[in-house]
Amino acid sequence: MTAAEESASHREDRSSRDALRRALVDGRAVALDDAVLHITDDGVARGDGAFETIGVWGGRPFRLDDHLDRLAVSSERILLPPPDLGLLRMEALQLLSDVTVDAALRVYVTGSGARVLTVDHQPAGRHAAHLVPQTAPWVRPVAEYAPAGAKTMSYLPNMVASRAARAAGGDDALLVSLEGHILEGPTFAVCWAAGGVVHAPSTELGIVDSISRRTALEAARDQGLEVVEGAWGLDGLDDAEEVVVSSAVRDVISVRRVADRVFDGPTPVRDALAAAVTARRRSTARISRRRGGRGRPSGRA
């Protein structure tokens, strides 16, 4: 390839990458880089709002309705008016109408009533192979604090925990409650396998009701694995053979170290769950495409 051809092909790559990046701001279509909220919007000024990040696989949003339902639950928990889920659903499908690749769809509703949907590439992010425990006093049990588990636009404590974990030499944080219970990551769910049983922190602890975690636990049960949800301290990892993390826009990934505990053995549970979650995400894309429409995504398992 000549230098001129190479630079033309780079330009083409960049423009096809940029073409995906778009948004709807209160229904108005704009390029992602032009999607702005005013400083006076409470979403910006106060972090007052709720949001969702939805995995898009082969152009199809996976479990879109579950994500929208969770947005409604988040809004209710932070005492915002119920979002118009029908409108958001329609706008999500409109935004993705010509998308055929993997992407991340985000939906925001702010305390001022702004409505923003964005599509971007999935985050490349650092692999969370080494987690450093960080106390998360803001995550409280559901019974104690009504907004517990809401996915709000105030992610500052989570971001600080990630930075503190990186400053301590890890890749990311493992959030631990004031009572010492293992919770979740700042942007991902955490589970582990001990004695072949899959252990998942209970959503009653006030963590986000992760949809990738739901999919992974459903897949585990389908494969005949025992799943237990509950509350464990870090010593619950003493017997663990594997620790995994997941989110809507990442694979089920193995964690190799939590504090001083090292997990360097084979990862059969991670491998089985990752394969099952990927198959569900990909089969949604195929089924929807065969049906030839942009209709109701079938990924709601």
Q: Provide the binding-site residues for ligand PLP, judged by CB under 6 A.
A: 53, 158, 184, 186-189, 208, 210-213, 246-248
Residue closer to ligand PLP by CB (options 29, 204) is: 204
- Give CA–CA dist 125/250, Å, rounded: 9
Shortest Cβ 96–ligand PLP spacing (Å): 17
Q: What are phi and psi of 34, to 5 degrees?
A: -100, 5
Shortest Cβ 116–ligand PLP spacing (Å): 17
- Give CA–CA dist 69/80, Å, rounded: 14
Residue closer to ligand PLP by CB (options 74, 267) is: 74
For residue 93, what are the β-bridge partners?
Answer: none
Shortest Cβ 149–ligand PLP spacing (Å): 9
Crossing angle, helix 268-290 and helix 211-222, to 10 degrees? 110
Which token pair is 278?
A: 């990927």
3-state secondary structure (DSSP) of residue 254: strand
Shortest Cβ 262–ligand PLP spacing (Å): 24
Using left for φ > 0, alpha for ψ between -120 and 50, and beta otherwise, residue 247 falls in beta
Q: Where are the alpha helices (DSSP H) in the chain?
A: 3-20, 42-45, 64-77, 85-95, 156-167, 211-222, 268-290
Residue type, 228: V
Q: Quick one: which of 117, 87, 124 has its CA closest to 102?
A: 124
Residue closer to ligand PLP by CB (options 105, 248) is: 248
- Give CA–CA dist 210/216, Å, rounded: 10
Shortest Cβ 184–ligand PLP spacing (Å): 4
Residue closer to ligand PLP by CB (options 18, 163) is: 163
Shortest Cβ 50–ligand PLP spacing (Å): 12
Residue closer to ligand PLP by CB (options 211, 285) is: 211
Q: Quick one: which of 235, 231, 45, 252 has its CA closest to 143?
A: 231
Q: Quick one: which of 158, 52, 149 has its CA closest to 105?
A: 52
Shortest Cβ 208–ligand PLP spacing (Å): 4
Place of tokens 């971007």: 120
Shortest Cβ 134–ligand PLP spacing (Å): 12
Residue closer to ligand PLP by CB (options 110, 210) is: 210
Residue closer to ligand PLP by CB (options 118, 187) is: 187
Residue closer to ligand PLP by CB (options 29, 138) is: 138
Place of tokens 């659903």: 89
Q: Please name the helix (run of DSSP H) or strand (run of DSSP E) that holds residue 106, with its range, or none.
A: strand 103-110
